[in-house]
Each structure stands twice: as structure tokens, then as C-alpha cells.
Amino acid sequence: MLLCGLNSTNESVNHKHSARICVPVCEKDLDALRSACQRALEWADLIELRLDCLAAIPEQLPDVARPVILTLRPAEQGGHRNLTREERQRFWSSIAPQGETVWWDIEGDLAQDLAPDWSRTIVSHHDFSGVPDDLEQIYERLARTPAAVLKISVQANDIVDCIRIFNLLDRARNDGRELIAIAMGNAGIATRILGPSRGSFLTYGALDDQSATAPGQVNARKLRSLYHLDTIDDETMICGLIGLPVMHSVSPHIHNAAFVSEGVNGVYLPFEVQNAEQFFKRMVHPRTRELNWNLRGLSVTAPHKQAVMHCLDWIDADAKEIGAVNTVVIENERLLGYNTDAAGFIEPLQKRFGSLTDARVAIIGAGGAARAAIWALKRQSANVTLFARDPNRLRPLADLFEIACTSLADASFVGYDLVINATPLGSGTHINESPATREQLAGSRCVYDLIYNPVETRLLLEAKEAGCETLGGLEMLIAQAEKQFELWTGKNFSEGLSQMKTDLVRVLRENP
């Protein structure tokens, strides 16, 4: 059949990196496969040739300058090809072992029927619906085969599903078995990034952002250049951002760069959390968590900034007054809560204007960001007026902080020193919208949009046309992150700030 003399590299699978990344390539024809393998070389220690993606399986595959894993996944186990059991058996029986740099990934249901070179066999189990109740029994079943490596890949429907995967890796380490264990999906990303440091034989990294072969698979380049996979070990301080959604965030670009520039052994991950209370109980609080990991700190974003307040042992007085926590520090057995949004919000204004005493400020929006902004501005003795569309949110917030308020409809900002957007208008699905027109903004001095993606919003364009000064949300994002970093590490990253800002603008422009 195929693969007479597939030439894979002579390098052993123990490549130069301390964490192995396998890049799967899934292409319809040989030319595309060849070119994908070439591109994968930059980040891959191994390349998985997904034979089920090819329209026709050829006699000979291209030479690959890395160890390879051959996979022929049937559609019912997440593959791209309808294959009967007999066809799968025939395929594997027809090829000869290819030497020590060619691995076979054989699904567990076939393993008993075949006699492969077990020293180069990965025996695998996939579940795309969830984490099966009998996960441990599945591991035991796979472990009864003589395969050199076991692989279990299941779907995480919630971040707490990662617990069983990490615990399975601990078990395999104790049993002296090589295991690849992955929780697929955005909620499982921690298993892909932290897996190798907890003993996973390898982690899979996508060829690029469009080429993931399984849900939640992280781009291989990001695994190495953003998450610095090779430096993660048992001692690594783990921090992350909890929110829903969270994958769009650029905070990993800030904190991971800061860990490197400040020489701190740390990593910062996105944690997609649906239920903050469950996450804190089962994965965060040192007294109740079911996972032994070196978690040091969390950033908190929507919709959890208020919910997490019920999960903490102590909350800073400012955060209590603001009514929201965006930063958690895990200190010994206690969880401490802070709000760095307010200080991050005010810092760029103070840098630009110095004192804000008696400045006339309009805030548009009545959500969490508006709350922190009002609190910080009142501290500076600014004269704040709140504008929002929903009177049921506008009036209570204005009353709470004892400020003026008015409806957003037909607002005019003539005579204001500062107009602040604290709504999502101008980002995401509202990208072409603006909370105010150039006519409404004419006669105000400066417009500050808290949105940082895109870097230049529709509102800021309108403001420029109205002759106003402008300020985007990126400086606030960096300033609040800087204060979080200091709470977790005792260090600040002000030295690398201008480079970080340049890098973030590039990241945001490349991935709008």
C-alpha cells in the first residue's frame, strides 16, 4: 500500500526543546501536505500526518525533516474519512514499521487486532462530547496494551473538566507510563499549555490560526513565542485571566512578555470560566481545590468582576467601594481581591493633564468600567456627569456616587473637558458604531475611549474630525495590567513599556 521508505529525520523524538510540540497537518493533496510540513518545521518537534485528510492515500509520502506520527482517524472518532473497521485494519496491517522516527497513532478499539511496533505506537481514545464518567477505566484499558505512549483526548465543556485531565497525568507519571492527555475546547486550553510541564509526552500545536485539527488547539507559534512552553516547569508561577468570552484578550501578550522581561518564571493563560464560584472552589482556593498547581494570581473580566467578590477571603477597601474586583492574589491559604481598573483608568489622564480637579467630565455607559472610572474621577475631585441609555441603570449608579446624570439620547458635549466611552460601541459586533457623533462632540476638549480593540475606534475618528484631542484604551489596559503584575510578583515592568505598547498595537492590527 503506502509508505515504502518514508524518510523522516534521523533526529530522535527528544528534540532540542524541553516540551514537545506536535504540529498536525491535514491537507487534501500531496503538494499541499509537502508545503504544510515545510511550514511546520519552524515550531514542530514532531509532525502528525493526518492521512485521513488526503483525498487518496499515496504510495509514498513526502520526506519530512522531523519525526512523524501517522494517523488515519475515522470520521466517528473525529477524523475526516468514513472508514470501516476492516479498512482501518487493512491499512495498518499493510504497512511495515518505518523505523524509530515514525510513530503510529492507532485508536484503542483497533489495538487488540494489530501487531505494530509497540515501541513506536501511540494508542489513543477520543471523545468529542465531553469527559466520560469512565475516564480512569479508559486509561486503564489503554495501559493494558504495550504501546509506548497512551493518548486520551476529551472535550472540556467547562474549565473544571481540566481537573480530571491533570490528575490523570499525575497518575500516569506515578505509573511510569507516557501519556498525552488533552481537554479539547477553549475551556481546556490550560491542559494544552501546562500539559508538558505536568508530564504529557507532547502537546499538539496548530500550523496557524486557521488550521486547528481539534477544538481549542493553540497555534504552535503561540505555544512557543507567547506562552514560552519550554520554560514552564513545576516551579512556574501560574497566572491567568478568567472571563467569558476570554480568547480574544490581549492580556496574555502583556503579562507573558513582562514575565520574560522581568526574569520571572511565570506563565499567564486564558481561563474560559462559566461559573466563577465552581472554578474558585474546585480549582483556585487552596483550602478546597482539587488540583495541586502553582496558581498565584488571576485577572478578572466580564461577567465575573462582581461574582468573584463572594469567593474571596479579603477585599481591598477601594475595590469594595468600587463594587468590583479585577485582580485576585493567592497568598498562602487566602484569596485577596483588588481593583486595578480605577488606577489604570486614571493614570493616562494624569500623565496627560496633571490635575483633574473641577474638570467637567462626561461618562457614557453605566456598567463596570463606568463604575471604576466614576470612582477614580471623584477621588480627583472632577465634576462628573453620567450618560446612559437605560434609565434603570443610569439613575441608581448616579445616585450611588452622587453625581449628575442625563439620558444619552440627543446628548451634547459642548463645554466638557473630557468625554469618556465606557460602552462596547466601537468594538466587536458594534465595530462600526459610535456612542456620539462629531456634531455632538464638537466643543469638547478630549475624548477618551476605553475600548482598545480596535486601536482607533469610530468614536475617536469622529472626535478627531470634531477637533478634539483623543486617547484610546490601550494605555489603561497596560496600566491596570502593570499594577496586577506588581501585586503578583512585587516587580513592575515600566522599563519595557514602550516596546510592549508597540508590540500590542501590532498584535491588535494583525488580529482585529
Contacts to ligand NAP from residues 285-304, by CB under 6 A: 302
The interaxial angle of helices 474-489 and 497-510, nearest 10 deg, is 120
Nearer to ligand NAP, 30 or 507 (CB): 507
Kindly give, in sequence order, each residue whose CB lies less than 8 Å from that of residue 86, ignoring residues fewer than 6 positions away: none
- The yes or no reply on residue 407 touching ligand NAP (CB under 6 A) is no
- From 28, 305, 464, 491, the catalytic residue: 305
CB of 374 to ligand NAP, least distance (A): 11
Residue burial 348-360, b: 16+ Cβ < 10 Å; e: rest: bbeeebeebeebb
CB of 302 to ligand NAP, least distance (A): 5
Q: Which of 477, 488, 493, 500 binds ligand NAP (CB under 6 A)?
A: 477
- The yes or no reply on residue 341 touching ligand NAP (CB under 6 A) is yes
Residue 305 known to be catalytic: yes
Interface stretch with ligand NAP, choices 20-28, 134-142, 409-417, 475-483 (CB under 6 A): 475-483
With CA atoms as reference, report the closest residue to 133 among 111, 171, 164.
164
DSSP lists the bridge partners of residue 477 as none
Query: Measured between alpha carbons, how far is 168 from 218 in angstroms, rounded to an integer?
Result: 21
CB of 25 to ligand NAP, least distance (A): 36
- The yes or no reply on residue 323 touching ligand NAP (CB under 6 A) is no
124 in helix, strand or coil? strand
CB of 305 to ligand NAP, least distance (A): 7
Contacts to ligand NAP from residues 367-406, by CB under 6 A: 367-370, 388-390, 393
Kindly give, in sequence order, each residue whose CB lies less than 8 Å from that of residue 141, ignoring residues fewer than 6 positions away: 108
Give, in order, the Cα–Cα distances in Å from 508 to each of 17, 43, 511.
29, 23, 5
- The yes or no reply on residue 325 touching ligand NAP (CB under 6 A) is no
Query: Measured between alpha carbons, how far is 410 from 139 in angstroms, rounded to an integer?
Result: 64
Nearer to ligand NAP, 142 or 500 (CB): 500
Binding mask 421-450 for ligand NAP (x = CB under 6 A): -xxxx-x-------x--------------x
Is residue 239 within 8 A of residue 255, CB to CB? The reply is yes
CB of 425 to ligand NAP, least distance (A): 5
State the DSSP code for 62.
P
Edge-to-edge strands, sheet with 149-155: 178-184, 149-155, 121-127, 102-107, 68-71, 46-50, 21-25, 203-204
Q: Which of 155, 440, 480, 489 binds ligand NAP (CB under 6 A)?
A: 480
- Kindly list the residues in this chain that would bind ligand NAP in the complex (CB under 6 A): 302, 341, 365-370, 388-390, 393, 422-425, 427, 435, 450-452, 473, 476-477, 480
Please list the active-site residues: 305
